[in-house]
Amino acid sequence: MTQRNVQWVLGIVIAMGFAISSADAVQVQDIARLKGSESNKILGMGLVVGLNGTGDGGKFAPAMRPLAQMIGRFVDPNTVWTELKDAKNVALVSITAELPASGVREGDRVDVRISSIGPAKSLKGGTLFMIPLMAPRPDTEMIFAFAEGSVSIEDEDNPTVGVIANGATLTRDIMTQNVHNGQITLVISAEHASWPVARNLAQNINDELAPEGPPLARAINPKNVTVQVPMWERNDPSLFLSKLMVMSFPISLMPIEARVVINERTGTIVMSGNVEISPIVISKKGLTITKLLPAPLPDELNPLTNEQRFIGVDPADKGGARLADLIEAFNQLKVDAKDRIEIIKAIDAAGHLHAKLIFEL
């Protein structure tokens, strides 16, 4: 497929995307979560044993000390250090497990991630010796799980980090609590958090769930909306919360901050449909702008053309244009990704890009 054809296809896809999005809708759960439904982490430190000479080594005291204490329970502790001086089959590791936002029950199993702390070269083939996992809080020593198992290396280029599938077994329940004093809080995702979004979210909830009564929802800041659970729903709020989270309304009622996200490594440009630019004239060294002129009898093999070195972007002649108009011009002009990014950066530097410019690594 030629470059022209690729650009033509991309143009069609983009146009379809705008057409679909204008008629689409979002659900509350697409842009917000319930406070209390957050993932939690538990952690610990332990020893991976059974390594084939790739461990920390006998001179690394932080690893040998807990190993000596453990072995000293079964043999003469006075001779342990001497016997471990050449040990290279053990590595001191940090252990973390992420608990799902939906909560866990005693006996559930979750994956654990293992990372070497010392000079070990590889954890491949090792086994984590059973270790308790606790919450990352200095004010508690409560054990939430025990972890053990064979370490699997996911990235051969980074063999000092691994995972143990279902390696931690929970020893207590950790349940989510969404309703506090008859009220829940919707936490808007970072990419959507703003006063207009919070206000519109609260208004749509009130229009849908309390059209004739006192309002249930209130925006308290750009990221949080509180919702009162009706008295008759509080003993069993599951139905109310289910209805609330799947409520949907047109995207147009959810004003989103204008953004342009650029990944210079891959040459990707992603933008929201509301990005606008001020009237501007663009000229770039080596860039020729060619526009096809419609002829009475168009011939694709012999189109009439008009070549320029400058382009003015304000097609509606209303004192402004959308960045999408510029992208359409780029497609017609066969401007490569690198030049597109440089031009957009220059427009932003000149103060004519009315959007937040974000660069991804």
Asked whether residue 67 falls in the same domain as residue 117, the answer is: yes
Highest mean pLDDT among 3-12, 170-179, 280-289, 352-361: 170-179
CA distance 253 to 338: 35
Question: Does 9 fall in a domain?
Answer: no
pLDDT at 156: 93
Which among 253, 274, 307 is the end of a domain? 253
Mean pLDDT value of segment 256-262: 81
Which among 170, 198, 213 is the end of a domain? 170
Asked whether residue 270 falls in the same domain as residue 151, the answer is: no
Higher pLDDT, 149 or 1: 149
Higher pLDDT, 316 or 48: 48
Higher pLDDT, 297 or 340: 340
Asked whether residue 116 falls in the same domain as residue 227, the answer is: no
Asked whether residue 163 falls in the same domain as residue 204, the answer is: no
Asked whether residue 59 falls in the same domain as residue 166, the answer is: yes
pLDDT value at 275 more than 60 = yes
Asked whether residue 45 falls in the same domain as residue 125, the answer is: yes
CA distance 46 to 23: 54
Asked whether residue 193 falls in the same domain as residue 129, the answer is: no
pLDDT at 85: 62
The position carrying tokens 């189109």 is 303
Asked whether residue 44 falls in the same domain as residue 137, the answer is: yes
Query: Predicted confidence band at 147 (pLDDT cuts at 50, 70, 90)?
Result: very high
Question: Does 323 fall in a domain?
Answer: yes
Tens digits of per-residue pLDDT, 11-33? 433 444 444 344 467 899 999 99
Higher pLDDT, 336 or 253: 336
SS (H, E, C) the chain: CCHHHHHHHHHHHHHHHHHHHHHCEEEHHHHEEECCCCCEEEEEEEEEECCCCCCCCCCCHHHHHHHHHHHCCCCCHHHHHHHCCCCCCEEEEEEEEEECCCCECCCCEEEEEEEECCCCCCCCCCEEEEEEEECCCCCCCCEEEEEEEECECCCCCCCCEEEEEEEEEECCCECCCCCECCEEEEEECCCCCCHHHHHHHHHHHHHHHCCCCCCCEEEEECCEEEEECCHHHCCCCHHHHHHHHCCEEEHHHCCCCCEEEEECCCCEEEECCCCEECCEEECCCCCCEEEEECCCCCCCCCCEEEEECCEEECCCCCCCEEHHHHHHHHHHHCCCHHHHHHHHHHHHHCCCEECEEEECC
Q: Indicate the number of domains in the chain.
A: 3
pLDDT at 169: 97
pLDDT at 315: 43
Asked whether residue 45 falls in the same domain as residue 166, the answer is: yes
Q: What is the mean pLDDT of the chain?
A: 79
Higher pLDDT, 199 or 316: 199
Mean pLDDT value of segment 195-209: 91
Question: Does 219 fall in a domain?
Answer: yes
Question: Does 17 fall in a domain?
Answer: no
Higher pLDDT, 263 or 336: 263
* Sheet bearing 217-221, strands edge to edge: 32-34, 183-188, 224-228, 217-221
Rg for the chain, CA atoms, rounded: 30
Tens digits of per-residue pLDDT, 219-232? 999 999 999 999 99
Asked whether residue 271 falls in the same domain as residue 327, the answer is: yes
Question: Does 114 fall in a domain?
Answer: yes
Asked whether residue 247 falls in the same domain as residue 268, the answer is: no
pLDDT at 300: 64
Paired residues of 261 in beta bridges: 270, 358
Question: Does 1 fall in a domain?
Answer: no
Higher pLDDT, 66 or 189: 189
**Checking DSSP bridges between strand 353-354 and strand 276-277, what pairing results, if any?**
antiparallel
**What is the domain extent for residue 228?**
25-36+177-253
Tens digits of per-residue pLDDT, 96-127? 999 998 889 999 999 999 999 988 999 999 99
**Percent share of the chain, pLDDT over 70:** 71
Which among 136, 170, 204 is the end of a domain? 170
Question: Does 47 fall in a domain?
Answer: yes
Burial of 141 (0-12, 13-18, 19+ CB in 10 A): exposed
* Structure-block tokens of residue 277: 């630019």
Question: Does 12 fall in a domain?
Answer: no
Asked whether residue 62 falls in the same domain as residue 184, the answer is: no
Mean pLDDT value of segment 251-269: 77
CA distance 69 to 132: 16
